[in-house]
Amino acid sequence: MTLLRDHDLSAAFDHGSLAYDRLVAVNPGYHRDLRRSARRLGLADGGRGLRLLDLGCGTGASTAALLAAAPHAEIVAVDASAGMLERAAAKRWPTGVTFVHAPVEAMEGPSAHGRFDAALAAYLFRNVRDPDRVLGAVRELLRPGGRLAVHEYALGDGRVPRAVWSAVCGAVVVPAGLLAGDAALYRHLRRSVLEFDTAAGFATRLRRAGFRAVRALPQPGWRTGITHTFVARAPGAAGERA
């Protein structure tokens, strides 16, 4: 199977949006882990006075995680899938949350949306054609010293994380996709993780893109060694360290 990209991936998510919330609801720890990644941004005072960017917001689970971590912030949530975004926007949100239908690549440069104090990208980078280009775009969208948290499937070194991921996909993820009528999307999910950067590799990619203070933090439970939060800062902060 070839990995889905661009229009084909957006179309698959459009269709998958119908059952997406039901499927993640039975995934133990899914929402809790997103909230943990959002908290790892370390936003003070509930995000008061801050502008936050939610990249690849899907049906809004990552948006809700950001809102829980920073209830007083302004949040701009972006996704390339019209179907996912429609379901996100249909939920109840405070007035400071805005949804934008656009590929992340179209966000290059701060002219249209301004700069942001922090960004969360959940399950995004293994789904884009050019992760380096997107990281460059995110760096330019952040204010100097702005914070980035990437919540992503990025396997640890060794055979165990790959074996656990393959077993979970074979027993749960792909069969659930078949039942939902979204087999291609969930087969893509399985393969995209196996072909994406390792955790160490993505941390290196972040540094190569110019980000500073990069750390890869594990998630607990069966996701240990499979899902990580990568935290980093855009260059330009006073006294920053690489």
95-147 pLDDT per residue, tens: 999 999 998 888 876 656 789 999 999 999 999 999 999 999 999 999 999 99
The residue ranges of DSSP E strands in 87-223, in sequence order, are: 97-101, 116-122, 142-153, 212-218
178: CATH: 3.40.50.150
Secondary structure letter of residue 44 according to DSSP: S
12 found inside a domain: yes
Mean pLDDT across the chain, nearest whole number? 91
240 found inside a domain: no
pLDDT greater than 70 at residue 242: no
- Is the alpha carbon torsion for 63, 79, 225, 163 positive or negative? positive
Mean pLDDT to the nearest integer, 27-56: 95
241 found inside a domain: no
* Band of pLDDT at residue 182, cut at 50, 70 and 90: confident
Please report how many Cα atoms fall inside a 13 Å half-sphere around the Cα of residue 168, on the Cβ side: 16
Domain hosting 179: range is 6-233
189 found inside a domain: yes
Calpha distance 224→216 (Å, rounded): 12
pTM reported for the whole predicted model:
0.93
Q: Which helix (H) or strand (E) holds 79?
A: strand 74-79
Total number of domains in the chain: 1
239 found inside a domain: no
What pLDDT score was predicted for residue 111?
Answer: 59
Contacts of 200 (CB under 8 A, 6+ apart): 157, 216
What pLDDT score was predicted for residue 1?
Answer: 57
Higher pLDDT, 172 or 238: 172
pLDDT greater than 80 at residue 26: no
Instruction: Tell me whether residue 235 is exposed, middle or buried, using C-beta atoms within 10 angstroms of its C-beta: 0 to 12, 13 to 18, 19 or more.
Output: middle
166 found inside a domain: yes
pLDDT greater than 60 at residue 75: yes
